[in-house]
Amino acid sequence: MADIFVSYKSERRRAAEHLTRILELHGYSVWFDYALLSGREFDREIERELRAARAVIVLWCSLSCESEWVLNEAHLAKDLEKLLPVWIQQVELPLAFRRMDTVDLSNWDGAPRSQALDRVFDQLAQLTGRDATQQRKGLIEYEKTWRRFGAPTLANFALEPVALSAEHLAPNACWTVQVNATRDMQEASALVAKLCAGGYEAYVVLGPVRGETWYRIRVGRFPSPEKAKEMEERLRRVDGLEAAYVTPQQTPESR
């Protein structure tokens, strides 16, 4: 069971991942990665994770305000009295949430060690029953990584491409290229950032292996193994990623 569930529009995944890493470096466990879920039981597993969390952060932006998934999660979190709404863009909220005390991070510069996050941590302490505990060394190292890749704000993180539509894919399935796997989250994040900076659609998929969490770095979502093979060959030839290989991946419907 995670302390915090983060709800966001799928295109904002990189922004959600940045905030998640900061929350983790303040001592909280966080659930945010929808890519871990199977397509068949997607909605049930989402609800199970949300109900189990002590706090639910909803990242409001122009995209999430139009997302049926995010709206459903926000309504449930509100009913369970565990909702912590956050603006990452100044937008008009859906009617049911306009009178709530929403934390405004639209002007936050994105720095991992920032007073702009004080209200977030104050409310998390109330919802989870415990104060944040900074991992100072980890925060310093993560801030160096964030600055090395342009120090983006939440709203300025590159948008994730929308997953391929159903007519291009077999039901809930696609192909991807795995380039590495590691137990080190910072190593995984650094490689993803490097690949994204090079124009690739890179992301991390978490998975348990013998009781340990591994971070699998993958590139792209392709409708066929042949298309994925073309990317594998490019990654090997151009980027020197000799460990790259094609693998199938279950993909839930875009949120």
Q: Measuring CA to CA, which residue among 154, 129, 139 is closest to residue 55?
A: 129
Phi, psi for residue 108 in degrees, rounded to 5: -65, 135
Coil/strand/helix, residue 215: strand
Domains observed in the chain: 4-148 (3.40.50.10140), 166-250 (3.30.70.1070)
Q: Which two tokens stand for residue 7?
A: 């709800």
Q: Answer whether 90's CB lies under 8 Å from 103's CB.
A: no
Tell me 99's DSSP state.
T
Per-residue pLDDT at 87: 96
For 27, 158, 167, 171, the CA distances from 13, given in Å and listed in that order, are 21, 9, 23, 22
For 9, 11, 187, the CA distances from 162, given in Å and listed in that order, are 10, 6, 25
Strands 4-7 and 55-60: parallel
Digit-by-digit pLDDT tens for the chain (255 residues) are 799 999 999 888 889 989 999 999 999 999 987 655 544 566 788 899 999 999 999 999 999 999 998 999 999 999 999 999 999 999 999 999 999 999 999 999 999 999 999 999 999 999 999 999 999 999 999 999 888 878 888 888 766 554 433 333 344 448 899 999 988 877 887 888 889 878 888 888 776 666 677 888 999 888 888 989 999 999 999 889 988 999 887 544 456
Per-residue pLDDT at 132: 96
pTM: 0.66
> Across 68-109, where does the E strand assignment appear?
83-87, 103-104
